[in-house]
Structure 1
């Protein structure tokens, strides 16, 4: 019996979602194809009927995860009616919730270190996705791309550091300092 129309595309999307979640939490090197396929509820044998290799999946997972993050941040901005929408996004991005929920968080802080040592093709995809995030942040803050780059870099760096330290109090202090620095960038 043949599969319904769109079945293969739906399965591919499920694999990409599983990979994005796993990469956000554990990074690229620590996640194997069998782990990704198991997370998608599939056996690893079918992987190569959807992807040429793991690197292709990483690229698609990055695109998916950035789209997912922008959609989430846009909904955070849309819910803000009293104050600045960009401040609401900064507050969410640099919140303990975002820090602690890596499986659904922004993939850029999760993978930046590994991507810097990846293939040119993967670095190109990641660069495009960073540019997409900067464009989103810049438009929301109504600032140029230079300031948007500084703003997003501050947000990402603050989140990376907050996730890296062992002391929860220090981590919270880094989030607070990151928020303050990010909001100051918008004013100048």
Structure 2
């Protein structure tokens, strides 16, 4: 019995989503194709009917995760009735919820440390996806790309440090310090 129209595309989408979640929580190098396929209830033998390589899957998972992050950040902005929209992004990005839910969080903190050791194909794709988030943050903050890059770097670095320490109180302090300094940085640009 043949599969219904669009079945293969739906399965591919489930594989990409599973990979994005796994990569965000455990990194790229530590997650194998069999683990990803098992995450969607498939054997690893079917992987190559959907993807040419793990690198291709990593690129698609990166795009999926970046689009998901932009969607979450846009939702944070949409819930602001008054006040600064960029502050809503800062508050969401540097929240305990974002820190604690790595499998659904921004992929940039998870991928950044691994990028130098990955293929040029993945690094080029990551660069394009990074540019997409920088453009989004810069647009919301109404700042230039250079300042948007600096702000996003501060946010990513804060999340990496907050996730790295074993002391929850210290982690919360890192998030709080990141929020204060990100907002101070924005304020200094407005005054310049």
- Name the TM-score, length of structure 1 as normaliser: 0.98
CA distance in 2: counterparts of 1:83 and 1:42, whole angstroms: 47
Q: How far off is 1:149 after superposition? A: 0.4
Equivalent-residue separation in structure 1 for 2:117 and 2:179 (angstroms): 29
**Rounded Cα–Cα distance in structure 1 between residues aligned with 2:133 and 2:183:** 17
For 1:126, the equivalent position in structure 2 comes to: 126
Query: Where does structure 2 lack aligned partners over 5 or more consecutive residues?
Result: none
- Does structure 1 conserve the Cα–Cα contact (< 8 Å) formed by 2:55 and 2:121? no
Q: CA deviation at 1:82?
A: 2.2
Residue 97 of structure 1 corresponds to which residue in structure 2?
97
Task: Name the counterpart of 1:140.
Answer: 140
* CA apart distance, 1:117: 1.3
Deviation at 1:120, TM superposition (A): 1.0
What is the CA–CA distance in structure 2 between the aligned matches of 1:97 and 1:171, rounded to whole Å?
Answer: 12
Matched pairs, number = 188
Match of 2:29 in 1: 29
Counterpart-to-counterpart distance in 1, 2:119 and 2:33: 18
1:168 Cα deviation after fit: 1.0
Structure-1 residue corresponding to 2:81: 81
What is the distance in 1 between the residues matched to 2:183 and 2:149?
A: 13
Over the aligned positions, Cα root-mean-square deviation in angstroms equals 0.8
Query: CA offsets, 1:57-89, max 9 Å, x none?
Result: 001000000001001110110011122111011
Contact 1:62 1:107 in 2 (8 A): yes
Q: Look up the match of 2:163.
A: 163
CA offsets per residue over residues 25-82 of structure 1, 9 Å max, x none?
0001111111101111211110010011111100100000000100111011001112
Partner of 1:6: 6
The whole-number CA distance in structure 1 between the counterparts of 2:171 and 2:139 is 29
Structure 1 residues not aligned, in runs of 5+: none
For 2:53, the equivalent position in structure 1 comes to 53
Moved over 3 A (4+): none
